[in-house]
Chain A
Amino acid sequence: GAKQSIITNFFKIA
């Protein structure tokens, strides 16, 4: 099945 990704995979710490 599909795996849940997390936000920090896409947006980096500013």
Chain B
Amino acid sequence: MLELRLVQGSLLKKVLEAIKELVTDANFDCSATGFSLQAMDSSHVALVALLLRSEGFEHYRCDRNLSMGMNLGNVSKMLRCAGSDDIITIKADDGSDTVTFMFESPNQDKIADFEMKLMDIDSEHLGIPDAEYQAIVRMPSGEFARICKDLSSIGDTVIISVTKEGVKFSTAGDIGTANIVCRQNKTVDKPEEATVIEMQEPVSLTFALRYLNSFTKATPLSETVSISLSSDLPVVVEYKIADMGYVRYYLAPKIEE
């Protein structure tokens, strides 16, 4: 028996919008720790890892570990039927081939339940080793989204370079080139508007902008984003979900032959 009640149901709606472009089908894993997902995109270039900790739910009952295969487009269709202020409860019985999403309006005057068929998905769970990153950039998530969008109108790839001067995003295409430098800026009114660079040593990596733009679908989940970079490792683009967990995207770099 599984029963997860999330008062801030809009979080779940935003999570689905954040991952459904990248991944078509995925297993949602439920354990005492929380509600999680790990999946690669179809070309195995990017990986998304989601965690919603059990403590973040108003009610969390998960009698045994359960893995539920879902088509994310279909989950998104169901969750779009929930109001933005609705409380969402996810329910499943042991051995059942369906999951139920229950939506309650804030004043309890409307209650809806949507039952969705589960699917069998063969997915490989990857071990993500703890890594010391050469540079971690924290910046406003909206600023990062703007940079990725702007650069993708010029080129297909971005070189992200971190030095003590700041973080530079560069691209080149048929019509020309573009460079955007963001300097460390801690002296802002609100901490979420700061750009903070923790650098052990300079690092420069090349990535496909198409994937980074897909990651920015998570922007509504968090005011800030952190970008962790090391030579010869996938970049980690993390959006924290307040008090609950995170959506992390890993993107394999482009490597000179």
Contacts and interface: CB of A to CB of B under 8 A. Distances in A.
Interface of A: 1-14
A3 B40 contact: no
B45 A4 contact: yes
Interface string B221-257: 0000000000001100000000000000010111111
Contact of B252 (A7, A12, A13, A14): A7
Given A12-B126, A12-B127, A13-B127, A7 B255 contact: no
A11 to B, nearest CB: 4
Interface of B: 40, 43-47, 124-129, 157, 206, 208, 233-234, 250, 252-257
B124 A13 contact: yes
Contacts of B46: 7
A3 B207 CA distance: 10
Contacts, number: 56
A5 B254 contact: yes
Nearest to B41: A7
A7 to B, nearest CB: 5
A3 B253 CA distance: 8
20 contacts: A2-B206, A2-B255, A3-B254, A4-B45, A4-B252, A5-B252, A5-B253, A7-B44, A7-B126, A7-B250, A7-B252, A8-B40, A9-B252, A10-B233, A11-B47, A11-B129, A11-B234, A11-B250, A12-B127, A13-B127
